[in-house]
Structure 1
Amino acid sequence: MIIRKDNLLLLPEVYLIIASIFYWVNTSTLFNPFAIIFIGVLLYQVIIKNKIAGLLISSVFILLNLYMVLALISELSEFTTSNNSFIRLLVFGVLFLGLNLIASIFMFKKHLVK
């Protein structure tokens, strides 16, 4: 199977769609308007490939993830000892938010240089 460059350029959007689905599943609600909007906007971007929309979407995702980093720091500061829950939250939070930020930044750079 040959991987084309066009398919590799869609990787940030595909990852962010998967991350949004992961978020939707973890909220345990069938109707989650934020997840539906995130997925819809990202699918629109994958289909239409608009430069301005790509910059706007990636900027919003960067800002949302930076906000979530602050929320993670706030949540971690509530722990008095570094127990198993603290370490699990730290590892998965940093990994998930870090990957989201990396994908958003790649998406931003991709649409910036077009």
Structure 2
Amino acid sequence: MLKHIKSLIPELFLIASVMYYWVLTSNLLNPFAIGLLAIIVYQVINKNATLGLIISSIVALLTLFMVLALISELSEFEVVNQNYKNLIIFGTLYLGLTLLMAGLMFFKYLKLKIN
């Protein structure tokens, strides 16, 4: 059981990220959040290798784009204050973790695709 949950960590992380996004929008009928959640839950249930590779690739590309957005946002600060430090710490941790999970998911489904 623990091994099964460990193999689902990237998908569970993405589900938690989508749920967090959905809560932040404070819109109960958010079609983007509902669609993303449906796709990820479908992937958890069916474990389709091609869809897993597509999802992980898209997440990795969007995360790299968000790294550029983080750098752009950080460049707007004129002084290094607590907001700057919070943004660099939490932004780097979240984006780094997301990129790591996308990579783990990519290699997991790449192994499934090869076998």
Compute the TM-score of the two structures, normalised by the length of structure 2.
Answer: 0.90
Q: Tell me, yes or no, if structure 1 residue 110 matches structure 2 residue 108.
A: yes
Give the whole-Å Cα distance in 2 for the aligned partners of 1:29 and 1:15: 21
Residue of structure 2 aligned with 1:45, choices 43, 48, 64: 43
Identity fraction in percent? 50
Alignment-mate amino acid for residue 92 of structure 2: V
1:15-72 superposed Cα distances (whole Å, 9 cap, x missing partner): 1100111122123333333322221111010011100000001001101111111111
Give the whole-Å Cα distance in 2 for the aligned partners of 1:110 and 1:12: 10
Give the whole-Å Cα distance in 1 for the aligned partners of 2:46 and 2:78: 48
Q: Aligned pairs, how many?
A: 112
> Which residue is 1:93 aligned to?
91
Compute the TM-score of the two structures, normalised by the length of structure 1.
Answer: 0.91
CA shift, 1:6, in A, is 2.6
> Which residue is 2:79 aligned to?
81
Q: CA RMSD in A?
A: 1.3
> Which residue is 1:15 aligned to?
13
Give the whole-Å Cα distance in 2 for the aligned partners of 1:86 and 1:67: 19
For structure 1, the residue ranges without an aligned partner over 5 or more in a row are none
Residue of structure 1 aligned with 2:33, choices 26, 29, 35: 35
For structure 2, the residue ranges without an aligned partner over 5 or more in a row are none
